């Protein structure tokens, strides 16, 4: 579940376990954070976010809450003082948390909101925490084409909705019919595609809709696929293409940068001679230049410094400023 006004997991990797960067920063004031009494026992304090991000690096969340269901989520949001910041995390595959951590409450949806069902010959209801790969598999089992591309998105539907994630020439919002959202006050809404301005890796409420509601996060969507359409390839074929071109077994966030108009970020990074560039234990992949890998001991600061170095080098060489696809959040370390 991710912000409706603007947000994909990597497999096992080498080296140290999660949590290496957790420490001082946002977590220092966790004990003073006003958590509603009915939920206090279920909120974890100073939670290492490295355990919840596919880069396996980053600081701690001041407080961390994993709701069991929508009713508990609604109750928690309504009881939580409005002054407490809230940040949503799904599978954590498109996220870098700085070493100073996240102030406020992280709401983690992994393990909840995982229902997916076929509603008609062409429609599928799917909750925000369903992994995109599961959408692809279920639709294949239902002999429903056009969903194969979801196999190439390393995250959950909530993240795919929030950033219009895509793969293999297709995009999430080409198949969205309606969405359900929730806001900071726990109010739920059902919205149509016309309520959103959708572009390449970007989704935002249109001005009229945004003025009528605070920030919202996605809970679910009704997706439509054409049962008569030609399939975009089999899932095994598409996954083999990913294995051939991407470092799937490594700790990464997927693609780090958006593709600029008329070009590809990976081509520019490789042309700038940046493959294999390393800062600390953060490495530009030799297999796919738009992937940055944690080789085992990378800190969030190493990863961010490498991102900035790649940006600066490409801009200097080609006059193009690459825009990050990964979300970088949290406080600087002190």
Residue 133 belongs to some domain of the structure: yes
Instruction: Say whether both 153 and 217 belong to one domain.
Output: yes
The CATH code of the domain that includes 93 is 3.30.43.10
231 within domain boundaries: no
User: 82 and 36, same structural domain?
Assistant: yes
Residue 205 lies in a domain: yes
Distance (Å, whole) CA 53 – CA 55: 5
Q: Are 95 and 141 in a shared domain? A: no
Contact 235, 136 (CB under 8 A): yes
Strands (DSSP E) contained in the chain are 44-48, 60-65, 86-89, 95-97, 102-108, 116-118, 123-127, 166-167, 170-171, 176-183, 188-192, 196-199, 202-205, 216-224, 278-279, 282-284, 292-294, 327-329
pLDDT of residue 333: 78
Q: Which domain holds residue 283?
A: 247-329
Which residues participate in catalysis according to the annotation?
201, 255, 325
Contact 58, 97 (CB under 8 A): yes
Do residue 205 and residue 125 come from a single domain?
yes
Q: Are residue 193 and residue 176 in the same domain, yes or no?
A: yes
Q: Answer yes or no: do 152 and 215 share one domain.
A: yes
In this structure, are strands 123-127 and 116-118 parallel, antiparallel, or unpaired?
antiparallel
Tell whether 32 and 124 lie within a shared domain: no
Each residue's pLDDT, cut to its tens digit, for the chain (334 residues) gives 444 433 322 222 222 233 334 344 565 555 578 999 999 999 999 999 999 999 999 999 999 999 999 999 999 999 999 999 999 999 999 999 999 999 999 999 988 999 999 999 999 999 999 999 999 999 999 999 999 999 999 999 999 999 999 999 999 999 999 999 999 999 999 999 999 999 999 999 987 666 665 589 999 999 999 999 987 778 888 889 889 999 999 999 999 999 999 999 999 999 999 999 999 999 999 999 999 999 999 999 999 999 999 999 999 999 999 999 999 999 987 6
Q: Which residues lie closer than 8 Å to 105 by C-beta, 6 or more apart?
A: 33, 35, 43, 61, 62, 63, 64, 65, 80, 84, 85, 86, 87
- Count of structural domains within the chain: 3
Instruction: Tell me, yes or no, whether 211 and 142 share the same domain.
Output: yes
Both tokens of 75, joined, read 């109750």
**What per-residue confidence (pLDDT) applies to 289?**
98
Two structure tokens written together for 127: 């909750």
Q: Are residues 278 and 309 in the same domain?
A: yes
Output the pTM of the full model. 0.86
What is the domain-level CATH number for residue 170? 3.30.465.10
- For residues 167 and 255, membership in a common domain is answered with no
């Amino acid at each position: 579940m991710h912000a409706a006004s603007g947000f994909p997991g990597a497999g096992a990797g080498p080296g140290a376990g999660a949590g290496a960067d957790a420490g001082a920063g946002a977590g220092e004031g966790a004990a003073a954070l006003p958590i509603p009494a009915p939920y206090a026992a279920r909120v974890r304090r100073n939670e290492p976010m490295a355990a919840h991000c596919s880069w396996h690096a980053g600081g701690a969340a001041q407080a961390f809450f994993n709701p069991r269901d929508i009713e508990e989520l609604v109750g928690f949001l309504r009881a939580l003082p409005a002054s407490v910041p809230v940040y949503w995390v799904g599978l954590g595959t498109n996220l870098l948390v700085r070493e100073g951590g996240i102030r406020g409450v992280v709401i983690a949806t992994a393990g909840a909101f995982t229902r997916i069902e076929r509603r008609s010959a062409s429609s599928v209801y799917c909750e925000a925490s369903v992994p995109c790969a599961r959408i692809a598999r279920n639709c294949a089992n239902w002999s429903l084409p056009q969903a194969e591309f979801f196999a190439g998105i390393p995250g959950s539907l909530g993240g795919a909705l929030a950033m219009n994630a895509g793969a293999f020439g297709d995009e999430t919002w080409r198949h969205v019919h309606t969405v359900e959202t929730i806001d900071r006050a726990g109010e739920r809404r059902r919205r149509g595609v016309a309520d959103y301005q959708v572009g390449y890796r970007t989704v935002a409420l249109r001005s009229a809709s945004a003025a009528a509601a605070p920030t919202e996060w996605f809970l679910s969507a009704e997706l439509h696929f054409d049962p008569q359409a030609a399939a975009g390839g089999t899932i095994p074929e598409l996954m083999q293409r990913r294995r051939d071109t991407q470092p799937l077994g490594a700790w990464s966030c997927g693609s780090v940068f958006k593709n600029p108009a008329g070009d590809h970020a990976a081509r520019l990074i490789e042309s700038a001679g940046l493959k294999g560039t390393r800062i600390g234990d953060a490495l530009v992949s030799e297999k796919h230049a738009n992937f940055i890998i944690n080789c085992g001991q990378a800190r969030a600061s190493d990863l961010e410094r490498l991102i900035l170095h790649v940006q600066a080098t490409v801009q200097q060489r080609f006059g193009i400023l690459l825009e990050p696809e990964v979300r970088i959040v949290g406080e600087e370390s002190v």
